[in-house]
Amino acid sequence: NELPWGPSEKLKGVLVDAFGTINRYPDFYKQELSTGLADYAGAKPENIFIDDGSGTLLQDLVRLVVDDGDEVVFGSPSFAAYAIDVMLAGGVGVKVPLDESWTYDLEGVENAITDKTRMILLCNPNNPTGTFLTTPSIREFLSKIADKGILVVVDEAYRDFVTAEPFYESSKLVEEFDNVVLLRTFSKAFGMAGTRLGYVIAAPDVIDAFGAIRQIYSVNVLTQAAATAAVRARDAYAPVVAKIAAERERVLAELRGLAAEGLPVEVWPSTANFLLVRLPGATRVRERMRDEYSILVRDFSYAPGLAGCLRVT
C-alpha cells in the first residue's frame, strides 16, 4: 500500500545537492522541514514533531504513555502494529469490533473505556478496510471523553487520499483538544516510503514529551531535503492522488458489477489507496494474480474477522 509510482523527478536534483552535505549532522531542529510541513498541514511549527517514519513515532508514543497493565483501545480489524506496540510496552490491547459497515465504532470505543485506559488509537482511514470517520464525528467523540485524561491518537497514514473533506481539516482538532495526536507519514501519497519520514501534530506538551526521548540526529539530511522539497512541490502530488482516487472508484464499480452479475464478490467503499475485497478461494486468487498476471495483492484471509479478504492497492 505504498505509492506505485516513484517520486517527482524534481527531487533528484535536491538529493544531489543534499549529498554534498552528508559529512555534516542534520539540522536537529529540522527547521526548514517543520516550517514547510506546518504550512502544508495547516498547523503551527510548535505543534509538529518529525521522526523516522510514523511507525517509530507510534511505538515511541505508546512507550511514553503506557505502563504495565494500562489499557489501550483500538478497532478490530485495524493496523496490526497497534497490538504489537501495546504488548511490547506491557500494556493490554482492548479490541473493539468495527461496526456493520466496517467503520470504527466510536460508541463501542467509548464503552470500552475503563479506569485503566490510557490511550485510544483511531486508524483513519482504517487499514485494511479503507473506511473513514469525518472530522466532526471525531470532534464529537473527543468532546464526550474530554475529561477522562486519555490520549487519542488518530493515525492518518492514508489521510491524503480522502476526497470527502479537505486534507487539513482534521489539523484543527489539535487547537481544540490537548489530548489528540495526529499521526502522518510520507510513505503513502508522497511516494517516499524508502526515506522513512513521519510526523505528529499535537499539543506542545506532547511535542515536549517526544523531545525528551528523541534521538538528537534523527531524520537524515537526504530525507530532510527530499521531504522539504516534496511539501514545497505539493501541487505536483494533487494529480497523483486524484488519479488513485479515480482508479479506486473505477475498480470498486467494476467489482460491484461482478457482484451484481451474481458472482460471490463483496467489496467495501474506501477512502484510502486500497480496497478490501472478500471472495471465495482468496488465497488461491492471490497466488494466481501473482503468478499469472504479475499483480501483487495482500492476503488477509488469516487475520481475525477477515476470512476470504484480499487488500488490493
Q: What is the DSSP string of 148-195?
A: G--EEEEE-TTGGG--SS-GGGGGHHHHH-TTEEEEEESSSTTS-GGG
Which residue's CB is nearer to ligand PMP, number 38 or number 121?
121
Q: Which residue has the cell 475503563?
A: 114
Residue 55 lies near ligand PMP (rule: CB under 6 A): yes
Q: How far is the CB of 190 from ligand PMP (least distance, A)?
A: 10
> 3-class SS at 97?
strand
CA–CA distance, 244 with 59 (Å, rounded to integer): 29
Select from 53, 77, 91, 130 the one that contacts ligand PMP (CB under 6 A). 53
Is residue 179 involved in binding ligand PMP (CB under 6 A)? no
Residue 198 contacts ligand PMP per CB under 6 A = yes
Contact between 36 and ligand PMP per CB under 6 A: no
Strand pairing class (71-76; 275-278): unpaired
Minimal distance in Å, beta carbon 34 to ligand PMP?
17
Whole-angstrom distance, CA of residue 121 vs CA of residue 76: 11
Q: Which H/E stretch holds residue 49?
A: strand 48-51
C-alpha cell at 310: 484480499
Q: Which residues between 119 and 148 bind ligand PMP (CB under 6 A)?
A: 123, 127
Among the listed residues 155, 230, 231, 286, the single contact to ligand PMP using CB under 6 A: 155
54 binds ligand PMP (CB under 6 A): yes
Three-class DSSP category at 76: strand
Is position 3 an interface residue for ligand PMP (rule: CB under 6 A)? no
Q: Is 79 helix (H, G, I), strand (E, B) or coil?
A: coil
Choose between 55 and 77: whose C-beta lies nearer to ligand PMP.
55
- Among residues 94, 49, 24, 6, which one has the least CA distance to residue 205? 49
Query: In this chain, which of 94, 119, 157, 227 binds ligand PMP, going by CB under 6 A?
Result: 157
Which lies closer to ligand PMP via its Cβ, residue 34 or residue 54? 54
Closest by CA to 30, choosing from 220, 171, 194, is: 220
Q: How far apart are the first and last CA of the chain?
A: 5
Between residues 4 and 149, which has the closer beta carbon with respect to ligand PMP? 4
Piece of 12-20, 38-46, 53-61, 258-266 that binds ligand PMP (CB under 6 A): 53-61
Q: Choose the stretch contacting ligand PMP; rule: CB under 6 A; options: 52-60, 138-146, 278-286, 298-306.
A: 52-60
Stretch that binds ligand PMP, among 48-56, 87-95, 202-210, 260-268 (CB under 6 A): 48-56
Rounded to a whole number of angstroms, the minimum distance from the CB of residue 87 to ligand PMP is 17
* 30: exposed, middle or buried (Cβ count in 10 Å: 0-12, 13-18, 19+): buried
Q: Which of the ranges 16-24, 49-57, 226-234, 281-289 carries the binding residues for ligand PMP, by CB under 6 A?
A: 49-57
Facing residues of 198 across strands? Answer: 51, 185
* Span from 50-58, 163-171, 243-251, 274-282 in contact with ligand PMP (CB under 6 A): 50-58
Q: Report in angstroms how near the CB of residue 69 gets to ligand PMP at its nearest.
A: 25
CB 133 within 8 A of CB 101: no
d(CA 31, CA 3): 27
Interaction site with ligand PMP (CB under 6 A):
53-55, 79, 123, 127, 155, 157, 185, 187, 193, 198
